[in-house]
Structures are given as C-alpha cells and as structure tokens.
Amino acid sequence: MSAQSAGTAFSALLRRDFLLAYRRRAELLQPLAFLLVVTTLFPLGVGPSPQLLADIAPGVIWIAALLATVLSLDSLFRSDFEDGTLEQMVLSGQSLSLIALSRIVAHWLVAGLPIVLLSPLLAMWMNLPDEGLSVLIESLIIGTPVLSLIGAIGGALTVSLKRGGQLLSLLVFPLYVPLLILATSAVSAAVVDLPYIGQLGLMTAYLITTLTLAPFATAAALKLSLS
C-alpha cells in the first residue's frame, strides 16, 4: 500500500469512526461524567482543607482520568465485532494495523482530549497550585494517548469475550502504573519547584514506544480474537 493510498484509507476510517462516535455520543459522555463526579466528590470525602487537596490533586485527577478512559475501552472494537464489520475489514485486505491506529486516534480525540481540556477546571476544584497546572496539562497531553494505545491492545484481546470488561481492566492496569507514577511525580515536583523534565521525558519515551508498537500489537490481537 502506497503512502498516498494509506493516507486516504486512514482518513476514511477516521471519518467513519467519528461518525460512529457521534451516533453514540450519549455513551461517550459517560466516562466524562464519571471523571467529573469522582473529582467533584473526592474533596467531600477527604475534607475541604486546601493544603490537603493540593497535595493529593495530581493523583486524584490522574486516577480519575485513568478510570474514565478504562470505562470507554470495552466498546472500542466491540460494535464492529458484534455486527461482523471487523471480520469484513479483515477479509477486504485492509491493513489491520491501520484500522487499529485510526480507532486509537479517534478514541483519544473523543475520550482523551476532553480530559485534557477539562483538566484546568479539575485542577481549580482540587486547589492545585498554578505551578503545577501547566505540568498537569503537559502530562495529560503525553499520557492520555498512551492510555488509548495500551487500552486498544487490551480491548482487541477481550473483544470476543462476553464479559471482557473485567479482564480488560486486569490486563491494562499494570501497564498504566508506571505512567501514573511518572505523571503524578512530575506535577508534585513542579509544585514544590523541583526538576520534573526527567519524568516528562520518560513519559514521552513511553508514548513513542507505544505509538510504534501498539497498532501492530492491536492488529495481532484482533486476528487472534477473530480466529
């Protein structure tokens, strides 16, 4: 497949994924509602102390973002699998890795990007100091695509299972832990005026690695699920 034809196919697949996401917009709003509810209720549970909220804000926001992303992963390939579209795509000879990449990009744009856009509001609610806000946004810009990339592999592996959502969580959570540690460490370091470039650099390396490998791993997992 030439670069031009691959680009055309990718654009067509991305448009299709956006159209499907628009038709299921109520379903897509559920993870964002979960994110807002968790972040809003957390201060009510631990107390309104501004210093306490500032200390736990990076971890709370990142954990809420991680859980909200996981909620949307089970449906990443399921509708196409259940109606036979995924099998037809395989039989058509289209590149499965290209299909996987388009679905990952669409998932991040409709699930990950809104989290990034909402992060200033969440940070203000959690009393995160201004010094940590920009680093929080940077960490989410780098980290949320990784959540989608890794989650796509788990979604592809469990797409043929009736209750794959529970197994999916068990598969992806261990791979999310390093990202969570690095992100919260970077934000906390920025708040107390300590270096944080190293953490963001490791997150960027994690993003590059998953962006390189995840589409092919997802394609292999889809073939395994369809066999």
Of 91, 206, 187, 95, give the one whose Cα is nearest residue 149. Answer: 206
Q: Which residue has the tokens 């791979």?
A: 175
How many Å apart are CA 195 and CA 181, to the nearest integer? Answer: 15
Identify the pLDDT of residue 215.
92
Burial label, 187 (beta-carbon count in 10 A; 0-12, 13-18, 19+): buried
Per-residue pLDDT of the chain (227 residues; tens, 9 = 90+): 555 566 676 777 778 777 777 777 666 778 888 888 888 888 888 777 888 888 899 999 999 999 998 888 877 887 777 777 777 777 776 778 888 888 899 889 888 999 999 999 999 988 899 889 999 999 999 999 999 999 999 988 888 877 766 788 888 999 999 999 999 999 999 999 999 999 999 999 999 999 999 999 998 988 887 77
Identify the pLDDT of residue 88.
79
Q: What is the pTM for the complete model shown? A: 0.89
Containing structural domain, residue 202: 3-226
The number of folded domains in the chain is: 1
Whether the CB-CB separation of 98 and 13 falls below 8 Å is answered with yes
Cα angle, residue 183 at apex, residues 180 and 188 outer, rounded to 5°:
120
Of 181, 173, 137, 162, give the one whose Cα is nearest residue 78. Answer: 162
Identify the pLDDT of residue 171.
87
Identify the pLDDT of residue 7.
66
Of 209, 203, 14, give the one whose Cα is nearest residue 102. Answer: 14
